[in-house]
Amino acid sequence: MPASSPRRSPKPQERQRDPERTRALILDAAMKEFGAHGYAGARISAIAARAGVNVQLISYYFDGKEGLYQAISQQWWQQRRGEVAPADTPLPEQLRSYALEALHNPDGVRLLAWGGLEYAGTQTPSATDQFAGTIAQLRELQRSGKLPAELDPGCLTVMLMAMAMAPTTLPQIIEAACGVDPRSPEFLEQFADQVAVLAEHLGLGSADR
């Protein structure tokens, strides 16, 4: 990714704004812009226009495009993921919640998908830790005999996440196979339920429905 822009101080009248509100406006605009166009296609000027702020504020608060991208990525993983699927939630219910993100937080799911498309082998250790809880749950299911020992917990985690993200990553396949609008609320609700049902049949626990 390109080097970040020099940090510049905003004008005096801009510094008078509520900094937390300004940061929140920028992060919300960035989520939409990065979700729509990915890192390479997103434009800082477009983010500033969406947020209604001066471009200089993005450099001031986030050290430019790369810093802003890292901030919204961390926001999704550290905040939104904890809200969507707390660690003590049964895996089928976690998967249903992830699948419903295509309905409740489509920009966040698109951001995650773009992160995969643009991945260049620079994943950070903190990102790896995000899946430690899920992998630990799967290993515990193996120890209890509820999950076949020959299944690799890491690979299974990837498969389950890919399944939950399918309405965002494979909408054309869904439309062809199911004959529905892959982004309609009705289908997304149905799909999320089906993901949970499949997870239950795989022996991953029970979902609350």
C-beta separation of 192 from 96 below 8 A = yes
Domains in the chain, start-ordered, CATH in brackets? Answer: 1-75 (1.10.357.10), 85-209 (1.10.357.10)
Q: What is the pLDDT of residues 59-94, one digit of tens each?
A: 999 999 999 998 888 777 667 777 777 777 899 999
Per-residue pLDDT reduced to its tens digit, 3-12 = 444 445 555 5
In 3D space, the residue among 54, 4, 5, 3 whose CA is nearest the CA of residue 29 turns out to be 54
Taking each helix axis from N to C terminus, what angle separates 55-62 and 44-51, rounded to the nearest 10 degrees? 100
Distance CA(43)–CA(65), nearest Å, equals: 8
Contact call for residues 111 and 31 (beta carbons, < 8 A): yes
User: Higher-confidence residue: 128 or 75?
Assistant: 75
